[in-house]
């Protein structure tokens, strides 16, 4: 008997909404263009571009239909887009909803869909104000590009070392490289092929999802992060691990340029009160957990998200090493807290640690410095 495919409730709802909204848009959207509609004197509030204005974001009319900033992400205008977004939601949603729980996953999807659409809407309004071009005002903004970009960012955080094999093992790519490749593809397509809407959505989805996961999302410390686990008592805001820094999404050669810029942006955000500084203990534990995730000891396989245990192919010594790193990190943190005589671990002198702990804490002083916890 073939295994039963179990889809979590929110992922199932997203797939159904994607299919229904795309079908409705395909059946009811007008064949006329915005230019011919305007010249004929017809209302742009009922017809515009290639999408229904009450399902798609149209800069000239969406202010009357605020819900479209959510629904537009689940409207695709061609079969290829429907298949790509459908596969993204099926695999990505199934994995993330089980890793985070339905409530946190719903919050992430809300941010990753509405905010990028608002950003793209604002860009086209500015372009119209500068150029007075009706094309900018009546462009339709639809599709799951921002959601795809956001999912890739989350996979970079959770399963960075997972390898995807393509073309019968001819091409092997680690998950941590996908966000940069996705941004590159959409940037080149936008500049060379005129798909600037996808360019705006890809970058907005990347920046917004990374900002949320880096600085705002509440996560349990050193847990299996599965919904079957008991309610967490120790939470950390954001992910200050070094491997999730902004510069680490791009090739090593770019770090010398991106790292100082990201640090400066983080310092400005701190000064403006937009983000909180990362405590030193949070950086230490986040780095330990990031290494455990890289070893495959915390989360299941990306393609097989059903279980919470490590994949069966993961060697026992690697699981033991990941657990040992977490225990050592906790021991060092406990020593720092006792040495400080209070919760301010950043003021404590570093406790002696084994080489493994030293490696775990390397770069963690950045939790008090701009780059280590910043970007």
Q: How far is CA 20 from CA 72, 262, 374, in A?
A: 12, 41, 41
Neighbour-count burial of 42, counting CB atoms closer than 10 A to its CB (0-12 exposed, 13-18 middle, 19+ buried): middle
- Of 330 and 67, which is predicted with more confidence? 67
Same domain, 180 and 285: no
Considering the domain boundaries, does residue 151 fall inside one? yes
Q: Is residue 208 part of a domain?
A: yes
Scanning the structure block, which residue is given the tokens 């959505």?
A: 201
Judgement on whether residues 346 and 211 belong to the same structural domain of the protein: no
Are 320 and 310 in contact by the 8 Å Cβ rule? The answer is no
- pLDDT score recorded for residue 149: 98
Q: What mean pLDDT comes out for the span 104-122?
A: 97
11 and 93 Cβ atoms separated by less than 8 Å: yes
Number of domains in the chain: 2
State mean pLDDT over 131-146. Answer: 92
pLDDT band at 165 (very low <50, low <70, confident <90, very high): confident
The number of C-alpha atoms within 13 Å of 298 and in the hemisphere containing its C-beta is 27
Beta pairing partners, 141: 57
Q: What is the mean pLDDT of residues 24-41?
A: 59
Distance CA 269, CA 209 (A): 16
> Does a structural domain hold residue 202?
yes
Same domain assignment for residues 270 and 169: no
Q: What is the mean pLDDT of residues 83-92?
A: 96
Beta bridge partners of 172: 165
Tell me, yes or no, whether 161 and 81 share the same domain: yes
Q: Flag the least confident range among 54-63, 150-159, 311-320.
A: 311-320
**What pLDDT is attached to residue 184?**
97
Report d(CA 193, CA 308) in Å as an integer. Answer: 43
Of 153, 157, 373, the residue nearest 266 (C-alpha): 373
- Angle, CA of 103, 121 and 188, to the nearest 5°: 95
Q: Taking the C-alpha atoms of 205, 208, 211 and 213 in order, what is their torsion angle to the nearest 10 degrees?
A: -60
The predicted model gives 58-79 an average pLDDT of 94
Q: Are residues 286 and 355 in the same domain?
A: yes
Instruction: Indicate whether 4 belongs to any domain.
Output: no
Residue 310: other Cβ atoms inside 10 A: 21
Length of the chain in residues, anyone? 375
Which pLDDT score, from 0 to 100, does residue 364 have? Answer: 39
Residue position matching structure tokens 């999408």: 51
* Per-residue pLDDT tens digits for 5-20: 789 999 999 999 999 9
Structural domain includes residue 231:
no
Whichever domain contains 79, its CATH number is 1.20.1540.10
Phi-psi sector, 168: left (phi>0), alpha (psi -120 to 50), beta? left
Terminal-to-terminal C-alpha distance of the chain: 48
Least confident of 104-118, 142-156, 301-315, 345-359: 345-359
Mean pLDDT, to the nearest integer, of 224-253? 74
Same domain, 207 and 145: yes
Picking from 161, 181, 216, the residue at the C-terminal end of a domain is: 216
Tens-digit pLDDT profile for residues 282-339: 888 888 888 877 766 555 555 555 544 444 444 455 555 556 656 666 666 666 566 6
Domain hosting 149: range is 9-216
**pLDDT bucket at 170, cuts 50 / 70 / 90:** confident
The yes-or-no verdict on residue 192 having pLDDT over 90 is yes
What is the model's pTM? 0.76
- pLDDT the model gives residue 329: 62
| Residue 319 included in any domain | no
pLDDT tens readout for residues 334-349: 665 666 555 444 444 4
Same domain, 245 and 209: no
- pLDDT tops 50 at residue 143: yes
Domain identity same for 55 and 133: yes
Residue 1 lies in a domain: no
| Contact by Cβ (8 Å): 144, 88 | yes
Q: Looking at the structure, do residues 212 and 264 belong to the same domain, yes or no?
A: no
pLDDT recorded at residue 361? 39
- State the burial class of residue 153 (Cβ atoms within 10 Å of its Cβ: 0-12, 13-18, 19+): buried
> Is the Cβ–Cβ distance between 364 and 279 less than 8 Å?
no
Q: Pick the last residue of a domain from 216, 249, 278.
A: 216
Mean pLDDT across 262-277: 94
Q: What percent of the chain has pLDDT over 90?
A: 51
Q: Same domain for 137 and 34?
A: yes
Q: Which of 75, 159, 70 has its CA nearest to residue 106?
A: 70
Answer yes or no: do 209 and 244 share one domain.
no
Q: Is residue 342 part of a domain?
A: yes
One domain, residues 284 and 176: no
Share of the chain above pLDDT 70, in %: 68
List, in sequence order, the alpha helices (H) in the chain. Answer: 9-28, 34-39, 68-71, 79-87, 94-100, 102-131, 134-137, 145-158, 178-193, 196-215, 255-271, 280-294, 316-340, 355-361, 370-374
């Amino acid at each position: 008997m073939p295994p039963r495919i179990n889809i979590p409730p929110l992922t199932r709802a997203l797939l159904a909404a994607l299919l229904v909204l795309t079908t409705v848009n395909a059946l009811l959207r007008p064949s006329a263009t915005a230019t011919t509609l305007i010249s004929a004197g017809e209302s742009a509030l009922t017809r515009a571009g290639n999408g229904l204005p009450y399902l798609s974001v149209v800069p000239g009319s969406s202010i009357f239909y605020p819900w479209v900033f959510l629904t537009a992400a689940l409207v695709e205008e061609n079969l290829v887009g429907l298949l790509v977004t459908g596969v993204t939601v099926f695999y990505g949603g199934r994995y993330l909803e089980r890793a985070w729980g339905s409530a946190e996953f719903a919050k992430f999807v809300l941010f990753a869909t509405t905010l990028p659409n608002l950003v793209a809407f604002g860009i086209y309004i500015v372009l119209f104000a500068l150029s007075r071009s009706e094309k900018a005002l009546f462009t339709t903004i639809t599709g799951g590009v921002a959601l795809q970009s956001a999912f890739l960012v989350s996979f970079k955080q959770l399963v960075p070392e997972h390898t995807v094999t393509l073309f019968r093992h001819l091409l092997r790519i680690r998950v941590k490289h996908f966000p940069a490749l996705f941004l590159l593809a959409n940037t080149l397509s936008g500049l060379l092929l005129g798909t600037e809407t996808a360019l705006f959505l890809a970058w907005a989805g990347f920046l917004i999802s990374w900002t949320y996961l880096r600085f705002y999302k509440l996560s349990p410390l050193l847990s299996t992060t599965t919904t079957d686990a008991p309610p967490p008592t120790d939470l950390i805001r954001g992910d200050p691990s070094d491997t999730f820094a902004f510069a680490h999404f791009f090739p090593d050669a770019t770090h010398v340029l991106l790292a100082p810029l990201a640090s400066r942006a983080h310092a400005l955000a701190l000064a403006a009160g937009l983000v909180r500084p990362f405590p030193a203990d949070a950086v230490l534990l986040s780095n330990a957990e990031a290494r455990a995730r890289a070893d495959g000891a915390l989360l299941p396989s990306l393609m097989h998200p059903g279980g919470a245990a490590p994949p069966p192919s993961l060697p026992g010594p690697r699981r033991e090493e990941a657990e040992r790193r977490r225990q050592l990190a906790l021991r060092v943190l406990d020593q720092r807290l006792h040495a400080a005589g209070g919760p301010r671990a950043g003021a404590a002198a570093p406790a002696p640690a084994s080489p493994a702990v030293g490696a775990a804490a390397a770069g963690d002083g950045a939790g008090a410095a701009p780059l280590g916890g910043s970007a």
